[in-house]
């Protein structure tokens, strides 16, 4: 092994500091120290390294002495000539302290993977609790007053709202159901999705479909009514439920469901299509008032009993009333926004 100190070896200095040197070796070291003050400073620095190295000795199961002292020698030789070495001329001067980072025990890879998996699981569970218990999805709302309007929901379902109606729905549908809330009246053309039923909360009545077209009337203080144009609809209230298909209707009274024949004329506000078969004039006027949002009146109450079979396909209101008046030999007049039908009784 090469020497790092002039005229003396590192091994000899090590044995000297470890109290394992012979009397002859001790005398050799002391003679070397007497040669110059620089040798004393050199030994002091070597002693600091020796002490620090000794601390690590007990933590290593197998020690390669030559390799260890080679490292010490390299450290000593790496010092630049301009670096100051510790001075012991004054006992009050503190010893130079060499700070060495202690080795950090590395976790085994599988331990890190387990810790990461547990952390991710806890985070996912916490996020789920937050979403289900504390987070409420922001709802969008479309409402009308004295107008009708059409809305397209996130899934592509089309909703046509009648006057004084409101629908609420999430910005995006999540989960197994596509749920909306309706107050008023609306015609639904539901986008088919067999795995995610479309559900309407209509004033406490549950209307559930997969993909169909139908009308729901759910104004406050009025009976909830559902008329099916195409497909199948299930209407339920409390523990009562009924399945409806094309041409069928249901009316909800408290907790009672009543099956009816569908009246497609109730959808006239959306379609402007009317089909009357032997209907009383009073019923026809009511349907036209609701469909056109008009004010049509009979000057003679007996006229309400007149029966008529007639149909209209998207005709203007003036044309529709003119045809009725001509058919029943009645007179039509308009006062402001009010239409009047006048004439003799049909009896």
Give the up-direction half-sphere exposure of residue 37: CA atoms within 13 A in the CB hemisphere: 5
| pLDDT value of position 95 | 44
Asked if 325 and 238 sit in the same domain, the reply is: no
Helix (H) or strand (E) holding 109: helix 109-129
Question: Residue 323's beta-bridge partner residues?
Answer: none
User: Is 306 in contact with 329 (CB distance < 8 Å)?
Assistant: no
Q: Which domain covers residue 324, as residue numbers? A: 272-342
Distance CA(190)–CA(213), nearest Å, equals: 6
* Mutual angle of helices 65-78 and 10-17, in 10-degree steps: 110
Kindly state whether residues 215 and 328 are assigned to the same domain.
no
Q: Which residues pair with 200 in a beta bridge?
A: 180, 207
Query: What's the structural domain count of the chain?
Result: 4
Q: Which two tokens stand for residue 110?
A: 């599988």
Residues 235 and 300 in one domain: no
Q: Are 7 and 32 in contact (CB under 8 A)?
A: yes
Cβ within 8 Å of residue 4, ≥6 positions away: 10, 73, 76, 77
Question: What is the structure's pLDDT at 141?
Answer: 95
Chunk the chain into consecutive blocks of 10 residues (it has 347) and report each block's average pLDDT, rounded to whole numbers. Answer: 60 79 85 81 74 56 55 59 44 45 50 61 60 64 96 96 97 93 97 94 93 94 93 91 93 88 92 94 96 95 92 95 94 95 82
Specify if 347 maps to a domain. no
Same domain assignment for residues 232 and 293: no
* Contact predicate 258/251, CB 8 Å: yes
Final residue in a domain of this structure, among 103, 124, 156: 103
Domain of residue 332, CATH code: 3.55.50.30
Q: What ranges make up the beta strands (E) of 89-231? A: 139-143, 149-152, 158-161, 166-170, 178-189, 198-202, 205-209, 213-218, 224-230
d(C-alpha 330, C-alpha 345), whole Å: 10
Q: Are residues 314 and 302 in the same domain?
A: yes
b/e map of 207-227 (b: 16 or more CB within 10 Å)? bbbbbbbbbbbbbeeeebbbb
- Among 52, 16, 53, 51, CA closest to 31: 16
307 and 232 belong to one structural domain: no
Contact 200, 177 (CB under 8 A): no
Distance CA 302, CA 300 (A): 5
Asked if residue 125 and residue 199 are part of one domain, the reply reads no
Which pLDDT score is estimated for 332?
Answer: 95
- Please tell me the pTM assigned to this model: 0.60
User: Pick from 115, 135, 155: which residue ends a domain?
Assistant: 135
CB count within 10 Å of CB 118 equals 10
Q: Is the dihedral of CA 208, 211, 214, 217 positive or negative?
A: positive
Is the domain of 156 the same as that of 254? yes
Rounded CA separation 96/74 (Å): 19
> Would you say residue 178 lies in a domain?
yes
Per the DSSP assignment, residues forming a β-bridge with 250 are 226, 259
**What CATH number corresponds to the domain at position 176?**
2.60.120.1440
- Residue 86 is predicted with a pLDDT of 43
With contact defined as beta carbons under 8 Å apart, do 202 and 208 qualify? no
Q: Is residue 298 part of a domain?
A: yes
Distance of alpha carbon 53 from alpha carbon 55, whole angstroms: 5
């Amino acid at each position: 092994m090469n020497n790092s100190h002039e005229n003396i070896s590192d091994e000899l200095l090590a044995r000297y500091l470890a109290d394992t040197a012979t009397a002859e070796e001790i005398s050799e070291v002391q003679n070397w120290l007497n040669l110059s003050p620089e040798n004393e400073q050199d030994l002091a620095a070597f002693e600091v390294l020796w002490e620090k190295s000794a601390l690590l000795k007990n933590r290593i199961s197998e020690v390669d002495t030559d390799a260890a002292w080679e490292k010490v020698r390299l450290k000593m030789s790496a010092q630049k000539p301009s670096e100051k070495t510790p001075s012991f001329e004054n006992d009050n001067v503190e010893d130079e302290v060499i700070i060495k980072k202690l080795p950090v025990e590395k976790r085994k890879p599988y331990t890190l993977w387990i810790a990461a998996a547990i952390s991710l699981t806890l985070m996912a569970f916490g996020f789920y609790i937050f979403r289900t218990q504390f987070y409420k999805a922001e709802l969008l709302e479309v409402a009308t007053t004295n107008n009708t309007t059409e809305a397209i929901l996130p899934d592509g379902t089309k909703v046509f709202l009648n006057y004084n109606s409101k629908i609420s729905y999430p910005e995006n549908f999540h989960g197994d159901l596509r749920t909306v809330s309706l107050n008023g009246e609306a015609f639904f053309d539901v986008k088919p999705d067999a795995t995610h039923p479309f559900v309407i909360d209509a004033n406490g009545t549950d209307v559930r479909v997969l993909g169909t077209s139908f009308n729901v009337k759910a104004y406050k203080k009025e009976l909830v009514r559902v008329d099916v144009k195409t497909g199948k609809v299930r209407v339920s209230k409390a523990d009562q439920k009924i399945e409806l298909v094309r041409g069928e209707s249901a009316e909800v009274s408290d907790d009672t469901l009543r099956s009816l024949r569908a009246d497609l004329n109730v959808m006239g506000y959306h379609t402007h299509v009317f089909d009357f078969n032997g209907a009383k004039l009073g019923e026809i006027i009511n349907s036209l008032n609701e469909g056109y949002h008009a004010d049509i009146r009979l000057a003679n109450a007996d006229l309400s009993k007149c029966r008529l079979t007639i149909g209209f396909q998207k005709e203007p209101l003036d044309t529709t009333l003119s045809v009725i008046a001509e058919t029943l030999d009645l007179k039509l007049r308009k006062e402001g926004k009010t239409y009047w039908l006048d004439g003799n009784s049909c009896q």
